[in-house]
Structure 1
Amino acid sequence: MPASSLLLLCLACAPPRSSRITIGAKNFTEQVVLGELLAQEIEAVTGERVDRRFYLAGSYICQQALVSGRIDGYAEYTGTALTAILKQPLPQVGQRDAATVLRRVSDLYASKYQVSAGPPLGFEDTFAMVVRGDDARRLGLKTISDVAGMLDPTSQGRDVGHPALRLAWRLGVGYEFEERPDGLKGLEAAYGLMFAAPPRVMDLGLLYRVLAEKQVDMVAGNSTDGPIRALGFVVLEDDRHYFPPYEAVPLFRDDSLQRHPGIRIAEDRLAGKVTADDIRAMNDAVDGQHRDVGDVVREFRGKRGL
């Protein structure tokens, strides 16, 4: 039985949620940070303990947990919600501004699932095509188009020391990115990317390790990942504007908001409070410095006067 089916079975068989608010999160560091942030802020507002149900695999499992009532809410990204969950086509380039995408996402969640999208937390975490810093400097790579113009899967990995020579590069991606409508297939088509072999698909936590060890030459990471700066990697510009906005927003069931009005207060207190630099720093504190996520979030909240 596939792992996703097992997870769904576990969710279906889990006991009903308690009277306490339950916050979910996907299975990577930033999601756990955001889940803890929501949980701590709700606890501060209500004075009541919040249950955590973190590491719920990917977007699909979190969505199923939300609509089934196993969790009351979690943090999602608008572009992910639009394409991977709500199954909408990528919007036209002129309709990809953050406000338009958020409005569309909010309307669809409300009409289809009785779920409310709260105010954005203040940062965007877009997909990021990441390469080693020394490769970017040596080859003059700044954009995804720069890489596309140098890729040749028949070149046997020869260096671009001469204009006639091309690169046979290998790509590393997470499980979701390979299948998502805003993921690999569309990106390859938009840029004409030709890699030397099918992508290496792996857990998100391994992407930067294999890039550093030169097992792959480019990875599809996230723009707020802590290791990018820590390891001197470079994010290539999405110069053809393929990716939609990915603002981080809290999602909560409407019935949960009615039963627990403190959730709305917590959402409003967190609105616009988290910058991209803030979330990178918290991600790195948990991943790179191996600090407890609860302590990291409490420290951040203290600095923000929350």
Structure 2
Amino acid sequence: MRLIRRFLLWPLLTVLTATLIVACTGGGSSAAIRVGSKDFTEQFIIGEMYALVLEKAGLTVERKLNLGGTPVAQAGLVNNEIDLYPEYTGTGLLTVLKLPANSDQEKVFEDVAKGYKEQFNLVWLDPAPMNNTQALAMTEAKATELNIRNISDMAAQASSLVMVGPPEFQEREDGLPGIQQAYGNFQLREYKAIDPGLRYKALVDGEADVAVAFGTDGEISAFNLVLLEDDRNLFPPYQVAPVVRQEALDANPAIAEALNALAPLLTDETMQQLNYQVSGEQKEPADVAREFLTQQGLL
């Protein structure tokens, strides 16, 4: 009889143990938060910052950085392969939601937050002040010499100016064709299409007068470049913010508090400097992120 009871008890104990393990490891809030990023310097830095502040808040984090471009990262959220990643409001507006361009920061954020929630059940947390929008840059010396401070000034002198930038800028709706349409159908002396990584060297070396830029590029502060004012408000804002799966937020409310505390610190000047530490000084993005957060008292 004892032998029979022993054989009956072992399967029961096994089932109870397995149930206890599942309860302890599979219950929502104890699961790792999967933090993704796209495949360029700024995303590596910000993605690592997100991971570090979440870990500081006591959450377990799995890093899935360097996923690829916007379609890959967005699909990762929708398909429950990641829980959050840094996205730009302008990208959400134009690339994901396919909505018309708009230069009003608050309206763009309102539209993307509403559209993502309705279409994908995804939540935009607080946006940072930084604006990684498309821009045109000149050296301080050249801008002063020609008295150019905004894109209208540049358009008035375009026939004598050489612009350098990536090949696709000549074709994109929000690239050169869009600027020409908004600023008077001007014609440049020349557009030099080169690898994006060589734009600033060409500008500083005097091979071009104007370079296609993005608002938080590290070289802007490193080389003391002038960003021309978009005085006709052509370019939409590209503020960065965490986009998070609603289910992940429900299971881990601390995500919002931790990431919203970081957002106000990410200004244009800060991101220019942090980006250049990686692109110009060849530091590791994770080291740059950790050092910055430590300096700010978040770690």
TM-score by length of 1: 0.78
- Residues in 1 aligned to 2:53 and 2:170: alpha-carbon distance in whole angstroms: 34
Query: Which residue is equivalent to 1:7?
Result: none
> In the TM superposition, what is the alpha-carbon distance from 1:148 to its structure 2 partner?
0.8
1:234 and 2:234 correspond: no
Structure 2 residues not aligned, in runs of 5+: 1-30
Aligned residue-pair number: 267
- Residues in 2 aligned to 1:80 and 1:250: alpha-carbon distance in whole angstroms: 13
- Residues in 2 aligned to 1:36 and 1:174: alpha-carbon distance in whole angstroms: 30
User: 1:220 and 1:60, CA in 2 relative to 1: closer, same or farther beyond 3 A?
Assistant: farther
> In the TM superposition, what is the alpha-carbon distance from 1:24 to its structure 2 partner?
2.1
- Pick from 239, 253, 257: which aligns with 1:247? 239
- Residues in 2 aligned to 1:137 and 1:221: alpha-carbon distance in whole angstroms: 19
1:42 and 2:35 correspond: no
- Pick from 258, 263, 268: which aligns with 2:255? 263
Query: Which residue is equivalent to 1:283?
Result: 275
Q: What's the CA shift string for 1:238-288, capped at 9, x where partnerless?
A: 111112222211111222223433322322322323222222221122222
The code of the aligned residue for 1:28 comes to: F
User: 1:50 and 1:230, CA in 2 relative to 1: closer, same or farther beyond 3 A?
Assistant: same
TM-score by length of 2: 0.80
Larger gyration radius, structure 1 or structure 2: 2
- Pick from 56, 69, 82: which aligns with 1:58? 69
> In the TM superposition, what is the alpha-carbon distance from 1:41 to its structure 2 partner?
0.9
Query: Which residue is equivalent to 2:106?
Result: 99
- Root-mean-square deviation (CA, aligned residues, Å) is 2.3
Large movers: runs of 4+ above 3 Å: 177-184, 196-199, 213-217, 259-262
User: Secondary structure at the residue paired with 1:187?
Assistant: helix
User: 1:279 and 1:215, CA in 2 relative to 1: closer, same or farther beyond 3 A?
Assistant: same
**Identity of aligned pairs, percent?**
34
Structure 1 residues not aligned, in runs of 5+: 1-18, 153-166
The code of the aligned residue for 1:84 comes to: T
| Of 258-267 and 236-245, the range deviating more from structure 2 | 258-267
Q: What's the CA shift string for 1:114-139, capped at 9, x where partnerless?
A: 11100113322222211233321221
User: Secondary structure at the residue paired with 1:189?
Assistant: helix
Larger helix fraction of residues:
2
- Pick from 115, 134, 142: which aligns with 2:141? 134
Q: How does 1:191-210 map to 2 (within 5 A)?
A: 191=183, 192-197=185-190, 200=193, 202-203=195-196, 205-210=197-202
1:217 and 2:217 correspond: no
